[in-house]
Structure 1
Amino acid sequence: MNLIAAAARAYVYSGDWVADCPRIGCGSVEHLYERANPRQPNSPRVAQKPEFHCSYCGQTAPIDWPAQLAEITAILMLRPVPHTRNWYPQDHDTAVRFRVPHGQSVEQLQEENVEHGVPAGAVN
């Protein structure tokens, strides 16, 4: 029996790209970007991690990033309140369990911004 998922699925939680550990039963969540200054939580994210590494159980795995990573990030970062900057891939376990939106397109995120009085954000 294989207890390890193939990849860690990237999602945005409160403006940060994170992923749940794919090892069944672990439950850890890891940030997927390095910060310019790790001691400063507001320092810019400068480097996307090449693979998932769980600091709790030691599991490593590839990361399943969305195709429109840059666009999703840009639109969410227009939201002034960090806890509103969330995005989950389609059928993500956490989103399904807590009944929050998942699998939203870039256009749907833009519409959500406009509904809440935030600029839609330009997508190139």
Structure 2
Amino acid sequence: MDNKQLDAYYQDLSFDPADNNLDIFNIRLQHKQLTFSQTDRSDFLGQPGTVNSWYQPELNSITFPADIFQPSYFRPLWPASINYGGMGIVAGHELTHGLDDEGVQWGPSGALSTSSCTNCTG
């Protein structure tokens, strides 16, 4: 490799001496982007007949599997307000997991941290 290739490879990586946490986040983000592979469509988190959505605090992510957009939860002949209102309820429910007693323990970069909770007891 020559210097031009290395510069291009690391062009999105920036360091700020005043913010080490941001540096670590940027390095991890770039590593994930560089090592990201195709989605494994044979790896499922549950049984095929189970309809469920979930919140993953370590990724700060909500997953809506395709089965939740099928009858009996979602019907093409129902009014859009009913279909999307139902999805809104599910999305709202999953979003609240980011704020519950477990969700608040995760920092914005996906690291487990109790420092965000200044009045925690227990």
TM band (smaller chain): under 0.3
Considering fraction of residues, name the structure with more strand. Answer: 1
Larger relative CO (CA 8 A, sep 6+): 1 or 2?
1
Please give the TM-score of this superposition, normalised by the length of structure 1.
0.26
Please give the TM-score of this superposition, normalised by the length of structure 2.
0.26
Q: Which has the larger radius of gyration?
A: 2
